[in-house]
Amino acid sequence: MHSAQSPDSSNKNKKEYVASNTNKDEHAAAKGSAAPIGGPAAIKLPEGYRVGVDDELVISVWHEPELSQGVAVRPDGMITLPLLNDVQVVGLTSEEMQVLLTEKMKPFVNDPQVTVSVKAIKSRKVFLFGNVAKQGVYPLGGHKTVMELLAEAGGLTPFAKEKSIYVLRSENGKQVRLPFNYKKALSGKGVNPELLSGDMVVVP
């Protein structure tokens, strides 16, 4: 006959179980296997990405849930965090931002381990003008070609000059004009350039 487990013993086992699983979850988060606090896993960043205005970030500080939160970069290029107040982040890579926040948190947190994840890139934009179904400003979160942008905009209107489309791009302080032939690109025989942030696509 088995003896009944005392209430104190049962509570102790529950506490040990919770503590054990909490440590596992925290360890997994520290290794990056868990989704960051406040949203889904980080997106794949374009090469050379640097933080910009309107970007949505997730700051995770291991063992410090009250310091871990989602933030958006303000028009002045700053974010606001507990204890640190305003921090200038525009122009930094996510790695540079992690180093900066780690240094700033050292007076307040013992051995801080900071992870910066990018939830949404909203600072990178391209512009579409002319004879398309929907002109306007389009986010450039990752890789996007001229054809993909035109498809996103609902395609060309019947009046569009398919052979006269061009991309205006700023290079070394000068505007460069890149011609684009819609029909050739559609058939796979023409160039379909990848867009860069700030590009303007013009459809006469």
Using DSSP's 3-state secondary structure scheme, residue 189 falls into coil
Instruction: Please tell me whether residues 101 and 138 are part of one structural domain.
Output: no
Q: What backbone phi and psi angles, to 5 degrees, belong to 185?
A: -65, -40
- Position 56 in a domain: yes
pLDDT above 90: residue 25: no
Instruction: Please tell me whether residues 143 and 172 are part of one structural domain.
Output: yes
- Position 34 in a domain: no
- Position 79 in a domain: yes
Instruction: Please tell me whether residues 47 and 116 are part of one structural domain.
Output: yes
Residue 100's CATH number: 3.30.1950.10
Q: Which H or E run includes 129?
A: strand 125-130
Structure tokens at 193: 């350039």
Which of 91, 120, 149 lies at the terminal end of a domain, its last residue? 120
**Average pLDDT value for residue range 43-65:** 89
Which of 67, 89, 120 lies at the terminal end of a domain, its last residue? 120
Residue 48, pLDDT score: 81
Instruction: Please tell me whether residues 98 and 137 are part of one structural domain.
Output: no
Give alpha helix (H) positions in the chain: 7-30, 94-105, 146-152, 182-187
- Position 18 in a domain: no
Q: Which residues constitute the domain of residue 170? A: 125-203
Structure tokens at 29: 């988060």
Domains held by the chain: number: 2
Residue 153's CATH number: 3.10.560.10
The reply to whether the predicted model has a pTM over 0.75 is no
- Position 45 in a domain: yes
pLDDT above 70: residue 19: no
Q: Tell me the pLDDT tens digit for each residue of 85-131.
A: 999 999 999 999 999 999 999 999 999 999 999 999 999 999 999 99
Q: Tell me the pLDDT tens digit for each residue of 30-51.
A: 333 333 344 444 577 877 889 9
